[in-house]
Structure formats: C-alpha cells, structure tokens
Amino acid sequence: MVDVNSFDDDSSSSTDVQVDGSSFRSVQMNGDLSNVVLKEVVKLQLNSTSSSHKNCCICRNDLKKNAANISSEDRDLIFFTRNIWIPEGARCCADHLANHQLKQEAIDQIKPVSIRQAELNSADVQLLLNKSQIILENHNKKFNFDDLRGLTEDEYRLLTSLSKDDFNEFVKIVSLSGIRNSSNRSIRTAIGIYLCKIRLGLSNRLLACMFQLPDKKTVFPNY
C-alpha cells in the first residue's frame, strides 16, 4: 500500500510517500528534483518492558531508595539476545545489579509487558547493526573477562584462583595505579591474562589463542 500526500506553490512541490512501513520525502524545486530522499524511517513493533520510575522493569516491585538505571550496554544485550526492548531511563531494583551490570538471573526474569512502536532512521539502523556485531563478537570469545556474566564462579577460580568478587575488587585496586585500556585488551582482560599465567603457567601463544589476541607478542607487550 502506498500513501502519497503533496503540496504545491509557485516554485516548489513536496511529496511524502509511505511504502510498507517506510517513509520517504522528495522535494522538487522549479521542476528539478533537487533532493531525492530527505527522510527515511522504518517503523518497528517491539516487545517492551515498562518505563515507569515507580516500578522495577524486571520484577515490577515498587521502587524505593534502592532504584538504579539500566545501562545502555545491558539494554542492547537484552534487545539482541532476548528480543525485549527496555526503554531508555527504565529503572530496576539495585539488587538486580552487580558492578553496574544486570545479573544473569535478572536477565532471565525480564518479560515484556506491551508492544511499543519505534521509528528508526538509517543512522539508527546502522548503529543497531554495529552494536549487534560487538555483542556477537563478545559472545564468541572463548574466555571473556570484560563480560561480567561471561564466566562462572568456578571458571574464575579455575583460571585465576580468585572468586569473581575478589577478582572484581582486585581490578578496582589495580585500576587506581594508572593502568589503561589498550587497543588489544582491556584492563580486566590484562589482569585476567596475568593471573592465568601465574596460576596455570601457560605459554603466551596459548594465552593469545584463549583470549583471541592477534599474536603472542600482544599478551605482555612491554616484556
């Protein structure tokens, strides 16, 4: 189905066209088509949680003083892995978070409560594609310390000899020393690799394979 609305004056005409949920606009000046497409919008129907600031969007309990905002990274993760949209600014109980990330049990608990219509332009679509690629790459990593949900408690102890909470605390302490993220690895990954090296005595080549680094020289680049 195609809907067309146009207006004319002495020097120009404009036409809005809607085709299968996408909207386009072309402007014609003095009989010449000067701009073929000025606006392109795709309309999507999304499974959505609530966006109330009074109720938790996860368990729907009343929010009091322990409310917290859900990060954009977690919102993207849930959208691409659970097909559930969490509106920007949605809040949840602070107990659902660990180190500012949603716990896995909280993610499993999330359910949509309504269908929300969203309009996305070409830039929005490109941004979503980029985010989905990042999430896919992170999920494909064999060992991922950057995703707080990527390793279990037993895997933390096996690889580093530390519990997950102790590892997170150790990262906080080391981060105060001035260590910075690099193009190949984050602070968390660098610390995880170092602890794996101490505990398991693995070669740099094997560590590079485990953590998907370019080569063994990037495992400890300063040595």
Regarding whether 114 and 52 lie in a shared domain, the answer is yes
Regarding whether 171 and 108 lie in a shared domain, the answer is no
Regarding whether 97 and 15 lie in a shared domain, the answer is no
In a domain, 143, yes or no: no
Q: Is 64 exposed, middle or buried (0-12, 13-18, 19+ CB in 10 A)?
A: exposed
First to last CA, the chain: 65
Regarding whether 190 and 120 lie in a shared domain, the answer is no
Regarding whether 162 and 90 lie in a shared domain, the answer is no
Regarding whether 128 and 95 lie in a shared domain, the answer is yes
In a domain, 145, yes or no: no
Per-residue pLDDT of the chain (223 residues; tens, 9 = 90+): 434 344 444 444 444 444 444 444 444 444 454 444 445 788 888 999 988 888 999 999 988 778 899 988 889 889 888 889 999 888 999 999 887 888 888 988 999 999 988 888 888 888 888 887 777 666 655 677 887 777 888 888 988 999 988 999 999 898 888 777 776 778 888 899 889 888 888 888 888 887 777 776 666 665 4
Regarding whether 212 and 132 lie in a shared domain, the answer is no
In a domain, 11, yes or no: yes
- Listed in sequence order, the residues at least 6 apart from 146 whose beta carbon sits closer than 8 Å to its beta carbon are 138, 186, 188, 189
Regarding whether 125 and 205 lie in a shared domain, the answer is no
In a domain, 197, yes or no: yes
Q: Looking at 96, 115, 138, which one is the last position of a domain?
A: 138
Number of structural domains in the chain: 3
Structural domain containing residue 183:
153-218
In a domain, 57, yes or no: yes
